[in-house]
Chains A and B, each alone.
Chain A
Amino acid sequence: DAGVIQSPRHEVTEMGQEVTLRCKPISGHDYLFWYRQTMMRGLELLIYFNNNVPIDDSGMPEDRFSAKMPNASFSTLKIQPSEPRDSAVYFCASSSHTGGYGYTFGSGTRLTVV
């Protein structure tokens, strides 16, 4: 298995532009998580899905952030419009059930908004 695949690896964009981050979970995993990592706040859970349905989006910082999972093999995290304070590393993770099976993380997308 290729693991959790995220794209792009790096993204540099201008303030105000729309940014879309992509994630392909491990086949057969029915939970998908989006995290954001910054120096100040560490790793924060933004949103997670179960069987393609958003379960908890309480970590999404603002309405500028949205996430979708149209099918079991693909998810997107969109920021519109982007701001410099959104600069961070965004990680996607997947898991086969919760409650004891562990999480597998992708390599992350490093987003820089200038």
Chain B
Amino acid sequence: KQEVTQIPAALSVPEGENLVLNCSFTDSAIYNLQWFRQDPGKGLTSLLLIQSSQREQTSGRLNASLDKSSGRSTLYIAASQPGDSATYLCAVEGDKLIFGTGTRLQVFP
């Protein structure tokens, strides 16, 4: 059974810092890994999708990497801003899309 873990559970940093959010999964037989953002009381916004054959994807200040063999992914956020404050969820797709428990990020001015 696929299990997805995210560390840390919560993170509070001053504006401008570079951040690394971690995601680990137990079953490496996946099609892809997806990072989502969720604002309080809102739905899920897809940030990055990494196919199983890829090593990383970039979008603006976000960079996500995938190491299938070790069952790990990282989301790197460069030059964090208060607007980045949200919960970040990773999800792995095998026969189903299984979510981690999320990292709650707060970036203060």
Contacts and interface: CB of A to CB of B under 8 A. Distances in A.
Contacts of A107: 42-43
Q: Give the secondary structure class of B's interface.
A: strand
Interface in A28-64: 33, 42-43, 45, 48, 56
Q: Give the secondary structure class of A's interface.
A: strand
A98 B93 contact: yes
A65 interface: no
Given A99-B93, A100-B51, A91 B43 contact: yes
Contact of A102 (B32, B41, B89, B99): B32
A33 B103 CA distance: 23
Interface string B23-62: 0000000011010100001111010010110000000000
A66 B75 CA distance: 36
B43 A108 contact: yes
Interface in B71-105: 89, 91, 93, 95-102
Contact of B34 (A33, A43, A102): A102
Interface string A63-103: 00000000000000000000000000001010000111011
Given A98-B31, A100-B31, A105 B43 contact: yes
Contacts of B89: 43
Contacts of A108: 42-43
Lowest 7 CB-CB distances: which A-B pairs, in order?
A43-B99, A99-B31, A107-B43, A105-B44, A102-B49, A42-B101, A100-B31
Interface of A: 33, 42-43, 45, 48, 56, 91, 93, 98-100, 102-108, 110
Interface of B: 31-32, 34, 36, 41-44, 46, 49, 51-52, 89, 91, 93, 95-102
